[in-house]
Amino acid sequence: MQQKLVCPSCNADVPADNINVAQMLAVCPNCDTVFNFGSLSAAQKSKQKKKPRKMHPPQGFHVETTPEGFSMRWRWFTPAIIGATFFAIVWNAFLVFWYNMLGDFSMDGGFLWIFYIFPIGHIAVGIGMAYYALTGWLNTTTARVSEELLEVRSAPIPNFFGDGVMACSDIQQVYVNSRTTRNGIVYDVVAKRYGAYEKAVVKGIRQKDFAHYIEQEVEAFLGVENQKVEGELQR
């Protein structure tokens, strides 16, 4: 008797063209779930009933099947980057003007150094705004998920606080929270690890729906049941 492979997330039939027998991976044509069917028995494949997926890939979010699992890729750009770029240009242009002016200025009593030191805090802000604007225009983040690892890398400008690698066997639950930065609200995808230790696996996402979609796909691939976590940002 011929048996069909059924998506464990939405119960849709998966055609043969979407099945990689060598890697034991399949992609659902209905909800785009990437799943490993090697551990599913024939009875599970035909009888498993789960709720349909709540979210489809947001616009600008790309999901690809890999030999090990799947990868997700997204750009950092949002419309807010346009205003931030203009503000960064004006802010840093004023600082350049300020120091050029001091180069042509002299003051009796040797107190000119005060005017060099005073804007140091403004320089730090200017560097931060320039980094925010440049990464918004240029950066792309790729998250690769396999049975063993969840790896996050950003390029071409390094994301010193948001990239990293985590063993998937440590992940007990995944959820999203938000935090406010100088440049606005950003979202982190947080993994609750066994032993109640938590770690943000993807930090500083500027689109809320991207963060929730990452949460959904990682949970589905690893077979983690979605449970409410205190303090999480609801979908």
pLDDT tens-digit map of 27-71: 888 888 887 776 554 444 444 444 445 678 898 899 999 888 999
User: In terms of pTM, does the model score above 0.85?
Assistant: no
Nearest residue to 26 (alpha-carbon basis) of 219, 40, 213, 214:
40
Q: What whole-number distance in Å separates Cα of residue 192 and Cα of residue 59?
A: 28
pLDDT tens-digit map of 97-133: 888 887 766 555 566 777 788 888 999 999 999 999 9
Give residue limits of the domains in the chain.
Answer: 1-53, 80-136
**Helix or strand or coil: residue 115?**
helix
Angle between the N-to-C axes of helices 80-103 and 120-138, in degrees from 0 to 180, rounded to the nearest 10: 140
**Helix or strand or coil: residue 10?**
coil
- Conformation bin of residue 231: beta by default, left when phi > 0, alpha when psi is -120 to 50: left
Burial class (CB in 10 A: 0-12, 13-18, 19+), 77: middle
